[in-house]
């Protein structure tokens, strides 16, 4: 790959130099051709391709499924399919150690059950408070209604106290009439004294009734109504407060239960995630870092970090070319430009392609040897890919990108 890129870069630099001369209306002298060590045939080819960019690339998959360590902390691999293995949908790709998660899951189930019990108790308390309020309020309302009816019966218009007062007044009238009749008939003093005593008793009774009994009983009945009204208000307030407090307890219990349930669901999902299952048929590739020299990046017993990329499953039927273009040329590359591809594995054939994407961020440097080289990835759709095309094949790409763009 490095030799291909060095050869391509030399030809590209020479092509750019020749193109600048041609574009500026100049001509390439024999001395210049000799300094570049170009034969007449090479010089002619450079002139013909003065508006093209030559870069190296590789075949990759358009659709690559990536599987990372799904756990929030580092964990240990118990088993992993070999690098390059063919798998079927539903196969276990990676099995992670879930022993610590299982312990946390058991403890979390207990905590969740406790909050579930507390939630059920709070719900029962609310039902009891609402039932008590529904029973107590009608009693208080009926007590108030009874006090008002008692007040109306005793001191209301046409009530018992009015009747008692009329009875006393009738007794007074009868006593006065009797006393008057005895005085007119001239009966004995004893009978007149008796009639006078009855009249005095009736008058005294009326005075007692009007001055003390009627005001006291009226006030007492009014007090009973006021007390019943206050009791009803207190009952309404107490019932509302009790229901409100129980509702607050219920809401807090519900939040606590939902929180614990969410933690439980998370742990259950994490335990499930400890088995990474193949979602489709395909080939598994270990996510080998550029600095790794071993064929397999992972094996049983390997410790991995949270969210670390473990394996990839590329779609072998959907392939494209990935070409790395130097920063000096990338400004000329645009989506839609035609590309000619030549595979190292098929040197006698050329394939046509089209630029689909020009990355805006540079590729990471492969090593310190070329750390000063800035390259951008250009993705190329292959028009008619051959059946022999495989991921990882190296290629040379010739992008039709005029210098004046």
Segment 235-258 mean pLDDT: 95
CA angle 318, 320, 321 (to 5 degrees): 160
Q: Which residue has the tokens 């059920």?
A: 120
Is pLDDT above 90 for 29?
A: no
Q: Specify whether the CB–CB gap between 148 and 156 falls below 8 A.
A: no
DSSP state of 193: H
CA-CA-CA-CA torsion for 262, 263, 265, 269, nearest 10 degrees? 140
| pLDDT category of residue 45 using cuts at 50, 70 and 90 | low
How many Cα atoms occupy the beta-carbon half-sphere of 171 within 13 Å? 17
Do the bridges between strand 303-304 and strand 285-286 make them parallel or antiparallel, or are there none, so unpaired?
A: unpaired
Q: What's the pLDDT score for residue 42?
A: 54
Q: Each residue of 62-120: pLDDT tens digit?
A: 999 999 999 989 999 999 999 889 999 999 999 999 999 999 999 999 999 999 999 99
Here the tokens at position 150 are: 């008692």
User: Given this model, what pLDDT does residue 32 score?
Assistant: 39
Distance separating alpha carbons of residues 96 and 77, to the nearest angstrom: 5
* The pLDDT value given to residue 142: 95
pLDDT confidence bin for 4, thresholds 50/70/90: very low
pLDDT at 192: 84
The predicted structure's pLDDT at residue 334: 93
- Taking alpha carbons only, the member of 215, 219, 234, 214 closest to residue 143 is 234
- Residue 293 pLDDT exceeds 50: no
Distance separating alpha carbons of residues 262 and 257, to the nearest angstrom? 8
| Buried/exposed code over 100-135 (b: 16+ C-beta within 10 A; e: otherwise) | ebeebbeebeebbeebeebbeebeebbeebeeebee
Q: How far apart are CA 346 and CA 342, in angstroms?
A: 7
Specify the pLDDT at position 292. Answer: 45
Q: What is the dihedral sign for C-alpha 364, 370, 374, 379?
A: negative
262-292 pLDDT, tens digit per residue, is: 999 999 999 999 999 999 999 999 987 434 4
Separation between Cα atoms, residue 345 and residue 87, nearest integer Å: 26
Lowest pLDDT segment from 4-8, 332-336, 355-359 = 4-8
Percent of the chain with pLDDT over 70: 82
Q: What DSSP character marks residue 160?
A: H
Q: Mean pLDDT check: name the lowest of 17-26, 180-189, 198-207, 312-321.
A: 17-26
Given a cut of 60, is residue 16 above it in pLDDT? no
Percent of the chain with pLDDT over 90: 65
Is residue 140 over pLDDT 50? yes
Average pLDDT over the chain reads 84
Helix (H) or strand (E) segment spanning residue 87: strand 86-87
CA pair distance 327, 9, nearest whole angstrom: 12
| 101 touches 264 (CB < 8 A) | no
Q: What is the DSSP letter of 336?
A: T
pLDDT for res 154: 92
Confidence of residue 190 (pLDDT cuts 50, 70, 90): confident
């Amino acid at each position: 790959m490095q030799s291909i890129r060095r050869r391509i870069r030399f030809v590209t630099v020479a092509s750019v130099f020749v193109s600048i001369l041609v574009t500026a209306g100049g001509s390439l002298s024999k001395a210049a051709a000799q300094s570049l060590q170009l034969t007449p045939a090479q010089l002619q080819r450079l002139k013909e391709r003065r508006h093209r960019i030559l870069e190296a690339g590789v075949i990759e998959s358009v659709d690559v499924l990536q599987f990372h360590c799904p756990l929030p902390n580092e964990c240990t691999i118990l088993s992993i399919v070999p690098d390059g293995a063919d798998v079927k949908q539903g196969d276990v790709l990676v099995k992670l150690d879930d022993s610590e998660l299982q312990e946390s899951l058991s403890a979390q189930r207990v905590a969740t059950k406790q909050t579930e019990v507390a939630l059920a108790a709070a719900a029962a308390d609310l039902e009891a408070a609402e039932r008590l309020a529904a029973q107590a309020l009608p009693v208080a309302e009926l007590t108030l209604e009874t006090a008002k009816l008692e007040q109306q019966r005793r001191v209301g218009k046409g009530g018992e106290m009015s009747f008692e007062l009329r009875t006393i007044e009738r007794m007074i009238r009868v006593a006065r009439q009797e006393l008057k009749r005895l005085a007119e008939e001239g009966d004995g003093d004893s009978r007149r004294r008796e009639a006078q005593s009855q009249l005095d008793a009736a008058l005294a009774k009326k005075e007692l009734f009007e001055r003390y009994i009627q005001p006291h009983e009226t006030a007492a009945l009014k007090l009973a109504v006021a007390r019943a009204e206050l009791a009803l208000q207190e009952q309404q307030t107490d019932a509302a407060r009790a229901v409100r407090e129980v509702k607050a307890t219920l809401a807090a219990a519900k939040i606590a239960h939902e929180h614990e349930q969410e933690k439980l669901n998370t742990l259950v999902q994490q335990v499930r995630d400890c088995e990474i299952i193949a979602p489709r048929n395909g080939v598994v590739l270990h996510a080998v870092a550029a600095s790794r020299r071993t064929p397999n990046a992972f094996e049983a017993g390997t410790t991995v970090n949270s969210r670390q990329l473990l394996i990839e499953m590329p779609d072998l039927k959907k392939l494209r070319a990935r070409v790395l273009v130097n920063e000096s040329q990338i400004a000329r590359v645009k989506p839609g430009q035609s590309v000619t591809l030549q595979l190292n594995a098929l040197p006698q054939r050329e394939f046509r392609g089209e630029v689909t994407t020009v990355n805006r961020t540079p590729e990471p440097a492969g090593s310190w040897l070329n750390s000063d080289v800035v390259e951008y990835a250009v993705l190329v759709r292959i028009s008619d890919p051959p059946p022999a095309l495989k991921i990882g094949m190296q290629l040379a790409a010739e992008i039709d990108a005029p210098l004046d763009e």
